[in-house]
């Protein structure tokens, strides 16, 4: 429960987000902000034409307001609230978005969509857009740590992305809309009261709907507050507030400790594979073993793995029924690495998942969780039909904080993700504009070029 010593946490966060100048953000923080923005925008283009994105927009279209904000990677426009939801859903639908290394939250999609929605309705420079984006991400990650990262004790049933991103989006929007501190605290109250997202929905289209709803609720919260609709001014730390609701034992200090000095975006990571983050080390190890030993699937009798507890808790689905369950099936992606020799978007389709050869190989894979195994690690032993066993112990998989994706790898990921919706020339322009986001006079150039 929140204590008296934790009074005014909401106010302190609001004051910092509204008062921080772009130049107050260190160069390394701004650079990582650009990398995060580029990564998630590429994911958004990549998910723009997905079936789930189209269905979502079809459901919203009859109720949409004036068409002023782009549906990124599509020809249509919508009102800002609808666009923020659809664009965030597109960024998340392939499970290819970013992940904070410690908070295990996917912060960038809702903040990016909120910032760009505002940038299409009023002038916003790239410099101001980047600052709002970084600060919104900061709030999301700190809030997730406050309710889920030890010494905090939370409930795994809550989706951290679903419950935390709305507050970050509300504050990014409050900054760009010019709200004063009192109104911004009200915006936090509205966003916090709308926070939701249950992990029971994992393995369905609703997985991506949770961050999408967070983006919309955060933007809506800022507009409610701007119009004078009231809410709690102590929504995070107050009695029966956010942290008391979502944590058995919250750690409020995570929200304000070294605020303005320590930046959580420096611990943001980017997925090299389109699936749950806890599966990435397993794919990396499998691909390394296959390549190093020239393995063929029919030579493999059994695979035994020691994995992180999170891998079992979130991705223990031996035989997924479709691409969405496949996104959170550790067995499918290990099988893809060994059988197909790769683990990209084309390897997670319904057709691949339902391939009898894949199903048969998944039966040979066995995983055991160990509390000692970090989220970025795995011990993998491959037992061959000829009696040999080959093994690999991995502790920093590609894409992890200890082995991050390079700028070139992020650019290549953008190109791979967006190639189906952008021409080569347009893609080069969009990527170049993302890398020079701080220097853009108009932040919406990153979508206008598309």
Out of 369, 394, 419, a domain closes at 394
Residue 174 lies in a domain: yes
The 8-class DSSP code of residue 400 comes to B
Asked whether residue 221 is assigned to any structural domain, the reply reads yes
Judge whether 399 lies within some domain. Answer: no
Instruction: State the CATH number of the domain containing residue 187.
Output: 1.10.4100.10
Domain that holds residue 313: 277-394
Q: Is residue 402 part of a domain?
A: no
Q: What is the pLDDT of residue 1?
A: 36
Decide if 211 is inside a domain: yes
Burial readout 12-40 (b: 16 or more C-beta within 10 A, e: otherwise): ebbebbbebebeebeeebbbbbbbbbbbb
Q: Could you list the pLDDT tens digit for every one of the 450 residues in the chain?
A: 333 345 799 999 999 999 999 999 999 999 999 999 999 999 999 999 999 999 999 999 999 999 999 999 999 999 999 999 999 999 999 999 999 999 999 999 999 999 999 999 999 999 999 999 999 999 999 999 999 999 999 999 999 999 999 999 999 999 999 999 999 999 999 999 999 999 999 999 999 999 999 999 999 999 999 999 999 999 999 999 999 999 999 999 999 999 999 999 999 999 999 999 999 999 999 999 999 999 999 999 999 999 999 999 999 999 999 999 999 999 999 999 999 999 999 999 999 999 999 999 999 999 999 999 999 999 999 999 999 999 999 999 999 999 999 999 999 999 999 999 999 999 999 999 999 999 999 999 999 655
- Segment holding 426, helix H or strand E: helix 424-435
Same domain, 343 and 232: no
Q: Which residue has the tokens 């605020």?
A: 259
Q: Does residue 109 share a domain with residue 232?
A: yes
Answer yes or no: are the C-beta atoms of 126 and 442 closer than 8 Å: yes
Is residue 293 in some structural domain? yes
Structural domain contains residue 85 = yes
At 153, give phi and psi (nearest 5°): -130, 115
Report pLDDT for 7: 74
Radius of gyration of the chain (CA): 21
Give how many domains the chain has, as a whole number.
2
DSSP secondary structure string for all residues of 33-58: HHHHHHHHHHHHHHHTTSHHHHHHHH
Q: Are 245 and 260 members of one domain?
A: yes
Task: Please check whether residue 166 is in contact with residue 261, taking contact to mean a CB–CB distance below 8 angstroms.
Answer: no
């Amino acid at each position: 429960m929140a204590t008296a010593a934790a009074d005014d946490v909401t106010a302190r966060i609001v004051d910092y987000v509204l008062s921080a100048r772009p130049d107050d953000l260190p160069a390394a923080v701004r650079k990582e902000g650009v990398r995060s923005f580029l990564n998630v925008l590429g994911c958004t283009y990549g998910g723009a034409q997905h079936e789930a994105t189209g269905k979502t927009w079809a459901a919203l279209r009859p109720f949409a307001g004036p068409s002023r904000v782009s549906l990124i990677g599509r020809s249509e426009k919508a009102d800002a609230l609808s666009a923020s939801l659809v664009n965030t859903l597109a960024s998340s639908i392939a499970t290819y978005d970013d992940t904070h290394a410690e908070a295990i939250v996917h912060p960038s999609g809702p903040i990016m969509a909120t910032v760009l929605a505002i940038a299409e309705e009023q002038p916003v420079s790239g410099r101001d857009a980047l600052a709002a984006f970084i600060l919104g991400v900061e709030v999301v990650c700190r809030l997730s740590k406050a309710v889920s990262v030890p010494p905090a004790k939370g409930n795994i049933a809550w989706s951290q992305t679903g419950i935390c991103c709305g507050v970050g989006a509300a504050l990014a929007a409050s900054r760009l809309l010019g709200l004063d501190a009192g109104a911004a605290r009200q915006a936090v109250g509205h966003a916090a009261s709308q926070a939701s997202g249950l992990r029971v929905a994992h393995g369905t289209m609703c997985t991506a709907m949770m961050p999408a709803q967070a983006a919309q609720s955060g933007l809506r919260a800022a507009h409610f507050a701007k119009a004078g609709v009231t809410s709690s001014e102590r929504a995070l730390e107050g009695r029966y507030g956010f942290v008391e609701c979502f944590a058995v034992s919250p750690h409020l200090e995570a929200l304000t400790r070294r605020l303005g000095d320590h930046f959580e975006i420096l611990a943001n990571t980017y997925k090299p594979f389109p699936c749950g983050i806890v599966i990435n080390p397993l794919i990396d190890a499998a691909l390394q073993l296959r390549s190093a030993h020239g393995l063929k699937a029919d030579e493999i009798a059994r695979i035994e793995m020691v994995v992180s507890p999170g891998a079992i808790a979130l991705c223990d689905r031996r035989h997924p029924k479709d691409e969405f369950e496949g996104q959170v099936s550790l067995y499918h992606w290990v099988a893809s690495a060994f059988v197909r020799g790769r683990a990209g978007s084309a390897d997670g389709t319904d057709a691949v998942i339902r391939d009898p050869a894949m199903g048969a190989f998944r039966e040979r894979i066995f995983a055991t969780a160990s509390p000692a195994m970090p989220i970025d690690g795995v011990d993998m032993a491959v037992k061959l039909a000829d009696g040999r066993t080959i093994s690999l112990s991995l502790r920093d998989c590609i894409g992890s904080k200890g082995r991050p994706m390079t700028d070139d790898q992020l650019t290549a990921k953008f190109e791979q993700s967006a190639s189906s919706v952008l021409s080569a020339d347009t893609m080069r322009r969009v990527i170049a504009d993302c890398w020079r986001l701080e220097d853009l006079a108009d932040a919406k150039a990153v979508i206008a070029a598309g």
